[in-house]
């Protein structure tokens, strides 16, 4: 008699940018979540695509091995395998795709293609309590800033987005101007805790509706720093914490203004944040405060599910598995891939 495992065991692979990650979900429970962050990019001040794909190539087998081992499963126990289809760096995506496809073929199990942006939203459905619907999610990462309305069937509609830089880029580019290295978001967050958020005031771009614009902030900070450093070469060092706190306040309050407006206009009261920037301590704090003021239910993923990880890919894959949505010949990676693709 053929042995049919009663558990649905899915291995998920995430390789869209510079982190090689693998996770195993057993039914609706994450059993392992391994991330190997690539350190080699720091010296270049940003992610080098060629280097990233080479590193994925080296890290993939050990990371997948660790994920299976921690989940106490063998490859033969898998019900399906999932990979990140996009958006991301093409060379990096191809490593995860090729690896996942070969396992699917070798084990004769279904292959599941996961949209990375949707997966960031699915990070909210890993640990209970899950958000109720309709759910308004602010997705803020290194490459994207989007306001998304999520319906009960997990259909996702983008109602606002950044017309230029993402919120994560605003953090990273400012941090770079302040000499904080890459990626600067987490460092800026740490230093901001010791600074005065009202020390310096930077303007916010006026954009229609629920859209954002962040590229002007970087330019105004650049000009401001240039003129101050001309007068006092030690200006940045002497005011570093205050600069970080002021920039962080500017970005977070701008993000919150549009989120609050959308929630009020649409009458949605289940509100969450997702993506790397949702690890920001001020954003997490302000969302909770606004939630209390507005009688919202607020949802913030655990830190390990905010920045890029494979657990969120696994959770999205579990949903697709139950919907019987499997990869086809057309499910190749896409560098530019919309959330509602």
* Positions in the binding site for ligand KG4 (CB under 6 A): 17, 141-143, 168, 171-172, 183, 185-186, 189, 275-277, 279-280, 307-308
The option from ligand KG4, Zn ion, none interacting with 143 (CB < 5 to 8 A, set by class) reads: ligand KG4
Query: How many angstroms separate the CA atoms of 313 and 307, rounded?
Result: 12
| CB of residue 31 to Zn ion, shortest distance in Å | 22
CB atoms within 10 A of CB 275: 29
Radius of gyration of the CA atoms of the chain, in A = 21
For ligand KG4, which is the closer residue by CB, 77 or 127? 127
Query: How many angstroms separate the CA atoms of 286 and 249, rounded?
Result: 10
For ligand KG4, which is the closer residue by CB, 73 or 172? 172
For Zn ion, which is the closer residue by CB, 19 or 242? 19
For Zn ion, which is the closer residue by CB, 191 or 317? 317
| CB of residue 1 to ligand KG4, shortest distance in Å | 45
What is the full DSSP assignment across 70-94? Answer: HTT--GGG-SEEEEEEESS-HHHHH
Query: How many angstroms separate the CA atoms of 15 and 231, rounded?
Result: 45
The option from ligand KG4, Zn ion, none interacting with 18 (CB < 5 to 8 A, set by class) reads: none
62: helix, strand or coil = helix
For ligand KG4, which is the closer residue by CB, 109 or 221? 221
Paired tokens of 22: 């693998």
H or E element, residue 158: strand 156-161
Query: How many angstroms separate the CA atoms of 91 and 54, rounded?
Result: 9
| CB of residue 237 to Zn ion, shortest distance in Å | 32
For ligand KG4, which is the closer residue by CB, 299 or 321? 299
**Cis peptide bond prior to 104, omega within 30° of 0:** no
| CB of 218 closer than 8 Å to CB of 164 | no
| CB of residue 37 to ligand KG4, shortest distance in Å | 10
The option from ligand KG4, Zn ion, none interacting with 307 (CB < 5 to 8 A, set by class) reads: ligand KG4
The option from ligand KG4, Zn ion, none interacting with 195 (CB < 5 to 8 A, set by class) reads: none
| CB of 260 closer than 8 Å to CB of 293 | no
| CB of residue 4 to ligand KG4, shortest distance in Å | 37
| CB of residue 145 to Zn ion, shortest distance in Å | 12
| CB of residue 191 to ligand KG4, shortest distance in Å | 11
Distances (CA, A) of 6 to 27, 56, 75, 77, 106: 9, 32, 16, 10, 21
For ligand KG4, which is the closer residue by CB, 195 or 276? 276
The option from ligand KG4, Zn ion, none interacting with 278 (CB < 5 to 8 A, set by class) reads: none
Torsion-angle region of 229 (φ positive above 0: left; ψ -120 to 50: alpha; else: beta) = alpha
- Residues 6 or more apart whose Cβ sits within 8 Å of residue 39: none
- Give, in degrees to the nearest 5, the angle at Cα 195 between 193 and 199: 140
Nearest residue (beta carbon) to ligand KG4: 276
| CB of residue 233 to ligand KG4, shortest distance in Å | 27
The option from Zn ion, ligand KG4, none interacting with 189 (CB < 5 to 8 A, set by class) reads: ligand KG4
| CB of residue 116 to Zn ion, shortest distance in Å | 6
For ligand KG4, which is the closer residue by CB, 262 or 277? 277
| CB of 95 closer than 8 Å to CB of 65 | no
Paired tokens of 34: 């391994």
For ligand KG4, which is the closer residue by CB, 109 or 121? 121
The option from Zn ion, ligand KG4, none interacting with 280 (CB < 5 to 8 A, set by class) reads: ligand KG4
The residues binding Zn ion (CB under 5 A) are 141, 308
């Amino acid at each position: 008699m053929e042995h049919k495992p009663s558990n649905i065991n899915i291995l998920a692979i995430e390789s869209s940018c510079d982190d090689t990650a693998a996770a195993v979900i057993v039914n609706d429970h994450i059993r392992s979540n391994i991330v190997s962050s690539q350190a080699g990019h720091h010296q270049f001040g940003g992610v080098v695509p060629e280097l990233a794909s080479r590193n994925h190539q080296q890290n993939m087998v050990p990371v997948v091995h660790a994920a299976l081992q921690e989940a106490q499963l063998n490859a033969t126990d898998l019900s399906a395998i999932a990979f990140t289809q996009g958006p991301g760096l093409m060379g990096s995506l191809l490593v995860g795709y090729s690896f996942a496809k070969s396992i699917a073929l070798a084990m004769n199990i279904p292959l599941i293609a996961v949209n990375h942006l949707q997966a960031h939203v699915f990070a909210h459905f890993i640990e209970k309590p899950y958000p109720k619907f309709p759910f308004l999610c602010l997705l803020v990462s290194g490459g994207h800033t989007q306001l998304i309305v999520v319906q009960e069937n997990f259909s996702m509609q983008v109602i606002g987005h950044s017309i230029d830089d993402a919120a994560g880029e605003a953090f990273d580019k400012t941090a770079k101007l302040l000499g904080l290295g890459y990626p600067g978001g987490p460092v800026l967050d740490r230093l901001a805790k010791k600074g005065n958020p009202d020390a310096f005031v930077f303007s916010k771009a006026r954009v229609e509706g629920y859209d954002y614009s962040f590229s002007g902030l970087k330019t105004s900070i650049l000009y401001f720093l240039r003129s101050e450093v001309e007068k006092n070469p030690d200006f940045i060092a002497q005011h570093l914490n205050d600069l970080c706190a002021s920039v962080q306040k500017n970005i977070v309050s701008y993000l919150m203004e549009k989120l609050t407006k959308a929630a009020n206009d649409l009458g949605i009261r289940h509100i969450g944040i997702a993506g790397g920037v949702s690890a920001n301590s001020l954003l997490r704090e302000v969302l909770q405060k606004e939630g209390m003021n507005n009688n919202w239910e607020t949802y913030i993923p655990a830190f390990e599910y905010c920045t890029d990880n494979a657990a969120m890919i696994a959770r999205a894959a579990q949903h697709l598995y139950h919907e019987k949505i499997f990869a086809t010949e057309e499910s190749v990676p896409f560098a530019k891939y919309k959330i509602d693709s």
